Structure 1
Amino acid sequence: MPVALCLVTGCASSGLNSARENFYRGNLKQASENLREIPEGNRDKILLLMERGTIHQEAGNYKESTDDWVSAWRMAEELDYLSLSQGATSLVVNERVKNFQGMPYERTMLHAFAAKSYMAMELWDDAAVEARNLIDRCQNIGKFPQDAYARYMAGFCMEMIFDSDAASRQYKEADKLTPHLTITDDGQIMRATTNAARVAKSSPKTSELVCFIGIGRSPTEFGSWSSNYRWGATPFAEIYTNGKCLGRSHNFANIQYLLAGTQKQLAAMRTLKTATRIAIKETLAATVSSENEFLGEMLRLLLYSFETPDERRWE
């Protein structure tokens, strides 16, 4: 039986690697230039948009960052319904032949990061739209890990449009996800103690300075987390003015833990798909071997050489 086999592979562009290197060196202009052109049809387009949006935000180009992130999540939504043919190809080759769509926590983070850029432009209603997207993502994320940062961001955005009830609900959800902290209904944050809530209620209402801070680097495509520990296992920032400490940051989300929890949920599905893919490869190789043993063995070696995991992620 003659067998026709078309093999297609995809990989992240060298421009992405250069952009990441320049970004973490602080060369934002060059990092942006590395990702200036994103070819149509690139299987990593969503990932490239995510990364370029991050560069734009860090450089203070907030409009450009939201443009990239909105494009990324819209493409991801479309691909949820248009990936059947790629799914069939991935059963023969590997998961990297599929368009990158992002893990659940990454797609949630898209809305959280976009909300920050909208707030930086004082576009409070647009930030509230992202807050509603965050709430929807969190409510429909299934068994994948929840994200307290997203919940708090949603609450803060709703507070900015004076929807105190919606804000309070999100702050309560964030509080449930952070046992090491006490988050009050009005968004105050403090270390968890037996009387933290009572202290918060008795504290006089004053002006607030709220900072959303990202520290460190998420795990790389190669699974390295060592760069995270440059700042310690639980990094934080302190805010000073005139030598006085106004407060410190608290950890709401750790990408390492979100990734690990997500991979745990995906493990069973991936194991089943890998077993199916191996069975298909063996069937193809055996079919060719029945007519030409040498070609069959060569095909088997070729097919298994593509058996690599998909480790693409937003870094």
Structure 2
Amino acid sequence: MKRLVMIMLVSLSVSGCAFNSVLISYPSQIAPIKAALNRPTTSPIYHQLDDKINGADKLLYAQEAGRVAQIGGDFSTSKGYYDKAIDAYQAFDEQATLSISDTGAKASSLLINDNVIPYRGPGFERIMLHQYQALNYLFSGDSEAALVEVRRSNQLQSSEQARYQKSMQGVQSMANGTIDAEINKLGQAAGSTTSSFLNAYSYYTTGLLYELFGEANDAFIDYRKAAQITPNNPYLQQDLVRLAKQLSMPQADDFVRRWGDANPASAGQGQVVLLVERDFVPEKQSFTVPFSIHGNWQTASLATYYPDRSPVRPAQINGLGRRLTAAPLANIDALAITALKEALPAALFRQAARIYAKSEMARRVRSDSKKANNQFDAAALAIQIFNVVTEQPDRRSWLTLPKQAQIARDYVDAGRYAIQLDQGQAQTIDVQSGRTTLIWIIDTGNYTRFYSIII
């Protein structure tokens, strides 16, 4: 019994600062932050995450804090938090051998749950991290740094895919009927999204910045990549028509036949580009997987997403002379669902090892109790309680990301406009002749924030 208690205590102590997510679900920790973002506030709520950035999940909390500061318009503070997250990703990349703490975390995960493993994050989160850092630099007036970040975002679209495929080579043979059914269910929930590493929103942001800073060829390439992922977005189609004609591309005539000609700006007009982000990505839930070990049925908990049948409304932009209806560009929730689907086989591999380890520990405790002729098997009871309490799925993910990204684009006469999202409160923006006004609208569900810059 003493040995058992020591094993439990050591396992929990090794988890260190990750203990918050071991027994307390991550979504419940972030819920107050999201609630605060859904109402007007002048207080820097991102400071609520500062203490957690020093723990094992520092990458995740740094991403959240950076996003919270960014939503609030504090782009300078957001850059600092995002830099910490970028450094954490690079530390993972540069880690040639396992450190003692990582070894301990993975070992203790065999007796506790995956939440003790330091958060690495799916590839699409890392891609969006650099995309959002680029927007931080852009709205802070540093165009060169913004271009550096979008190039990094672009490169990660392929490198993260390669890293994932390499990591999956050892676990793709794992088979389980429940897991197969869950993967199929997640695939249906993700819709047409087949890879979490191909993000039309990131490609479009990259292309937009290239175009705004005079790199039309690079902009065309990234707009086309975005269109391959989201082929029915009319604004993206018109971007391709306009640039194909500007660059005398051989595809120009074909694009015009398929999507119609692009209307040029009239004298005295400026361009308005709107990036609209709506709602929050969904939270991970849990589901049960049955296993049989030593002839006894065991159960395990893994993360999943419940079906969400509530569609995201296309944004209606009023106040620019005519109503603009934004078009969906990327479903970030589908990227998150697809990332989980891609990660499930590896999670099953770890879960099976954990169940076996717990089962072996319970079997040995029962055997020792019989040898000692214990009438009351306190150790066996204790380990059963320990297993039930610690059997928690890994529900960590970047929860302040938007559910969907939409875009709209138009030419309007130079002047000052009071624009509205749907029927919300009006916000004043300026349009200058021959310039582009980029408007970033962040709608968290019950509250909307507008940020604009003239380029």
TM-score by length of 2: 0.60
- Secondary structure at the aligned position of 2:271 is classed as coil
- Secondary structure at the aligned position of 2:64 is classed as helix
User: RMSD value over aligned CA atoms?
Assistant: 2.9
Residue 212 and residue 133 in structure 1: after superposition, are their counterparts in 2 closer, same or farther (change >3 A)? same
CA distance in 2, matches of 1:278, 1:17: 30
1:10 corresponds to which of 20, 37, 43: 20
User: Per-residue displacement from partner, 1:231-281 (whole Å, max 9, x unpaired)?
Assistant: xx1422233335432x33221211221121111111211112211110111
Offset, 1:70: 1.8
Residue equivalent to 2:115: 96
Q: Any conservation in 1 of the 2:238–2:259 contact (CA below 8 Å)? A: no
1:55 corresponds to which of 46, 68, 71: 68
Residue equivalent to 1:280: 357
1:79 corresponds to which of 62, 74, 92: 92
Matched AA of 2:77: E
Higher deviation after alignment, 132-141 or 15-24:
15-24
Residue 7 and residue 109 in structure 1: after superposition, are their counterparts in 2 closer, same or farther (change >3 A)? same
2:322 corresponds to which of 244, 248, 263: 244
User: Per-residue displacement from partner, 1:84-137 (whole Å, max 9, x unpaired)?
Assistant: 442222222111112222222222111111111111112111111111111111
CA distance in 2, matches of 1:235, 1:306: 40
1:166 corresponds to which of 202, 218, 230: 218
CA distance in 1, matches of 2:350, 2:63: 27
The gaps in structure 1 that reach 5 residues or longer are: none
Q: Return the index of the structure with the highest Cα Rg.
A: 2
Offset, 1:64: 0.8
Offset, 1:214: 0.8
Residue equivalent to 1:213: 276
Residue equivalent to 1:306: 390
Offset, 1:73: 2.2
The gaps in structure 2 that reach 5 residues or longer are: 13-18, 166-194, 243-254, 286-304, 371-376, 400-455
CA distance in 1, matches of 2:58, 2:218: 34
CA distance in 2, matches of 1:195, 1:188: 10
1:199 corresponds to which of 250, 258, 261: 261
Residue equivalent to 1:110: 129
Q: More relative contact order in 1 or in 2 (CA 8 Å, sep 6+)?
A: 2
Count of equivalent residues = 304
Offset, 1:7: 2.2
Residue 16 and residue 264 in structure 1: after superposition, are their counterparts in 2 closer, same or farther (change >3 A)? closer
Residue equivalent to 2:332: 255
Offset, 1:147: 0.8
CA distance in 2, matches of 1:224, 1:114: 30
1:67 corresponds to which of 67, 73, 80: 80
Offset, 1:23: 1.3
Residue 300 and residue 93 in structure 1: after superposition, are their counterparts in 2 closer, same or farther (change >3 A)? same
Matched AA of 1:213: V
Q: Any conservation in 1 of the 2:52–2:61 contact (CA below 8 Å)? A: no
Matched AA of 2:209: C
Residue equivalent to 1:178: 230
Residue 181 and residue 16 in structure 1: after superposition, are their counterparts in 2 closer, same or farther (change >3 A)? closer
Q: Any conservation in 1 of the 2:57–2:119 contact (CA below 8 Å)? A: yes
Offset, 1:65: 0.8
1:31 corresponds to which of 36, 42, 45: 45
Offset, 1:185: 8.5
CA distance in 1, matches of 2:48, 2:284: 18
Q: Any conservation in 2 of the 1:289–1:297 contact (CA below 8 Å)? A: no
Residue equivalent to 1:296: 380
Higher deviation after alignment, 127-136 or 75-84:
75-84
Q: Any conservation in 2 of the 1:215–1:236 contact (CA below 8 Å)? A: no
Q: Any conservation in 2 of the 1:65–1:117 contact (CA below 8 Å)? A: yes
